[in-house]
Homo-oligomer: A and B are copies of this chain.
Amino acid sequence: MAAARFALLITPAESTDEERADFSDSFRRIDPSAPALSVGELSTQRGDGIFESIGVVDGHAQEIGPHLQRLAHSALLCDLPEPHLEQWRQAAAIAAAECGPGEWVIKLILSRGVEHGPAPTAWVTASPAADFTDARTRGVRVVTLDRGVDSDAPARAPWLLLGAKTLSYAVNMAAIREAVRRGADDAVFVSTDGILLEAPTASVVLRLGDRFVSPEPGAGILQGTTQVSLFDHLRAQGHSASYERLPVAALAAADAAWLLSSVRLAAPITAVDGLAKPIDAELTASLNRYLLSPRD
């Protein structure tokens, strides 16, 4: 992702303020490369916050609604004040208007704030997306990596924040570095009890014959917004698309597999732990054509 071209600081509004319709005085545009956050910022000291990444195509921000819903869900899991979704919607719209043609990324960030400040710190950025042509056409090689937790951990230990999209992403980044160290491009996490989870920054979708399947949410993975959107499309096309508790072996055994995320979109998996996997180039291209079309 290129450096941010646009940044907006937000003073979060009370979520219960249903009457307020104009949030423009709660927004402050800043130079994205300039100093903006103090060294007391808790997102910076502790990764104590949440975020969303929204793909933007030719100025259309994809699926703002589902992303806002997930932001609210992450806030709930992390005991952060409930975001005022209309405020964030407006902030995202302002950011989208700043995005040029082609593919861009909007990030929404809500942190617990400054250690001795009155409110969380929140901001939105817009950046040109990287060029993901290679990933979408030639695909990505993945390695499976132990996530360290079993599939019941989220239910048992909500303080592990396994279903929240938090800023505490150091492990996700370390997993990708490990994948690269092994000669691959990305990773897929597996629970200690052998259940397929998700990639560090993407969902997993498999094709098993004529069925499309994704690991069921609740096993400590995020509900993927792009993956849900893709499933709507697949079902509209007459395909079966469902969620299952999948053993790791399903990944290598699948007829085809993709990593799915808001910005890279559908990246076909070409190898799993060194074992080659065929790409269905035509199907992949049609999925990405759909994902690049305006979607709400």
Q: A46-B173, A47-B46, A150-B192 are in contact. Are A37 and B39 (CB under 8 A)?
A: yes
Structural contact, A168 and B40, CB atoms closer than 8 A: no
Q: A41-B37, A48-B170 are in contact. Are A145 and B157 (CB under 8 A)?
A: yes
Tell whether A125 is near chain B: CB-to-CB under 8 Å: yes
Which of B44, B164, B171 is within 8 Å of A44, CB to CB? B44
Tell whether A32 is near chain B: CB-to-CB under 8 Å: yes
Which of B3, B149, B167 is within 8 Å of A46, CB to CB? B167
Contact partners of A45 in chain B: CB under 8 A: 43, 51, 107, 109, 167, 169
- Residues of A at the B interface (CB closer than 8 Å) are 1-4, 7, 30, 32-41, 43-49, 51, 78-79, 107, 109, 111-112, 114-116, 123, 125, 145-150, 153, 156-162, 164, 166-175, 177-178, 192
Structural contact, A115 and B40, CB atoms closer than 8 A: no
Structural contact, B177 and A44, CB atoms closer than 8 A: no
Structural contact, A35 and B33, CB atoms closer than 8 A: no
Structural contact, A3 and B40, CB atoms closer than 8 A: yes
| 10 examples of A-B residue contacts, CB within 8 angstroms | A33-B38, A35-B36, A36-B37, A39-B123, A43-B43, A46-B170, A47-B170, A146-B153, A148-B162, A166-B170
Query: How many identical chains are in the complex?
Result: 2
Considering the complex, give the chain B residue whose CB is closest to the CB of A177.
Answer: B79
- Closest chain-B Cβ to A171's Cβ sits at a distance in Å of 6
Q: A39-B32, A40-B32, A169-B48 are in contact. Are A174 and B153 (CB under 8 A)?
A: no
Structural contact, B192 and A178, CB atoms closer than 8 A: no
- Closest chain-B Cβ to A57's Cβ sits at a distance in Å of 21
Considering the complex, give the chain B residue whose CB is closest to the CB of A1.
Answer: B115
Most chain B CB atoms below 10 A, which of A159, A168, A178: A159
Contact partners of A160 in chain B: CB under 8 A: 146-148, 171, 174
Structural contact, B44 and A33, CB atoms closer than 8 A: no
Structural contact, B177 and A39, CB atoms closer than 8 A: no
